[in-house]
Structure 1
């Protein structure tokens, strides 16, 4: 029987041959998953016999088909918490943590997350400010089931609703956040297979120029923000000027663009007028 170290090395060679960009990292994560271990625990078992060949074979076969690792193992860490991930929801990205960080720079009493997906944004915000209240709006019933399950597992009280952006949203909020579909239809074919083939298309593109969701958000924001309330959205790296212009035209104020850790435009922040 092969050891953990030998198994990881063989899995990495197999994934590399399949064109996977991060074969060593993925091999380690999938080997840990197959053995029922946390990835950081694998180091303690490198010389031990590896007991889970059948489970690893299934995981490696899925990865060779370019299924994302998060879907294979069923979860992704986001802001220090594990969120269940399925093909019905967008895989949480590290870049989205910048949106959460920006939102947490000021306290809030009630927050609205539009296009919740896994619920990772609104659930993280409420976990970090447990005295606050939140609503997550999502058009996909399958995604809502995933988000509600994540809320139960994390023990966070939140209201998830089925809504096409603002259509079923009631009331006003001092914080609105969203990571909307911002990839243009023309760009979809350039995406990696892990994204293009396995993640929900409606969470990726508006089937237009990539700005459709921002137009909707700009149009409806003031009716759902309290005076001086904040609107924060994640954007593609080339969309800062266009989204800022849409927000300014809609009457939002104090508009600024916040970069991610790589220096790329990532979040547009705006406010409702104070009176």
Structure 2
């Protein structure tokens, strides 16, 4: 297995920023175990026959999360697959921004616009055990994953999901509004694993990547409860544009950066 992992790492290096991690995750999946268990107990075991087909899928640029069917995010593990945006570690910045805003307080009602497989809503509900929330998405495929994830995590009693066009049919006020909308311009280049596999509707938002912010931000003043906050993920070049849009609607903005130091989230109050 050590030799197989080394060879897989070498073959994955031209297409992945994390070739060794990819190889280990695929091997653990082939074994039906965790990566930690693989590294601690199985490195001298025979290579399972199921490993080679998994590696071929990755070499064809299929996302690791689609191959293994799961992705860790914040404190939870989420089932993911075709039709749902793969959760990214950078999106954890939104949860960190919300924690910074609320401090010792806790949001009671949470709205996640464009919930995908339930990523932000379920992470927030796990963070704040007394909260309830609604996840909205235009994709029935994504909502299927979201509902299954809520059930698997024991969060279904506190999570509702609805098919919707952003906040168009949402009523009431929320302490915390989360959104990771599409923000990639239609002319921008993407890695093959994203471009060829993840849903375009969750990626692209017009020529400048700002179309969906223009839909979401005007609704925020009517949806935010007193003392609440909306946290939106942004592309790293979009802070000024989204801040300016928020200002037009009477919202104050604070910028949060991801672990790479790039602008990643705008908190609006």
CA distance in 1, matches of 2:258, 2:180: 14
Q: Which residue of 1 aligns with 2:150?
A: 151
Whole-angstrom distance in 2 between the partners of 1:101 and 1:199: 25
Deviation of the 1:242 alpha carbon: 0.5
Ranges in structure 2 where 5+ consecutive residues have no aligned partner: none
Partner of 1:5: 2
Q: Deviations over 1:135-175 (max 9, x none)?
A: 10101011000000000000002011101001221211121
Pairwise mapping of residues 60-79 of structure 1 onto structure 2 (< 5 A)?
Answer: 60-79=55-74
Query: 2: CA distance between counterparts of 1:78 and 1:270?
Result: 23
* CA RMSD across the alignment: 1.3
The structure with the larger Rg is 1
Q: Where in structure 2 are the equivalents of 1:116-195 lying within 5 Å?
A: 116-156=115-155, 157-187=158-188, 190-195=189-194
Give distance in 2, aligned partners of 1:15 and 1:109. Answer: 44
2:265 to 255, 267, 274: 267
| Aligned counterpart in structure 1 of residue 93 of structure 2, from 89, 98, 101 | 98
Q: Provide the rounded CA distance (Å) in 1 between the counterparts of 2:268 and 2:18.
A: 37
Instruction: Name the residue aligned to 1:231.
Output: 230
Distance in 2, Cα, partners of 1:257 & 1:205: 22
Question: 1:207 and 1:270 mapped to 2: Cα distance?
Answer: 23
Aligned length: 262
Q: What CA distance in whole angstroms lies between the structure 2 residues aligned with 1:45 and 1:228? A: 51
Alpha-carbon distance in 1 for matches of 2:186, 2:20: 32
State whether structure 2 residue 16 is matched by structure 1 residue 15: no
Which consecutive unaligned segments of at least 5 residues does structure 1 have?
Answer: none
What pairs up with 1:202-221 in 2 under 5 angstroms? 202-221=201-220
> What is the CA deviation profile of residues 59-111 of structure 1, one whole-angstrom value per residue up to 9, with x for unaligned ones?
11111110011110000010131101111111111110010111123121101
Tell me the SS of whatever aligns to 1:164. Answer: coil
- CA-CA distance at 1:215 after TM superposition: 1.1
| TM-score with structure 1 setting the length | 0.91
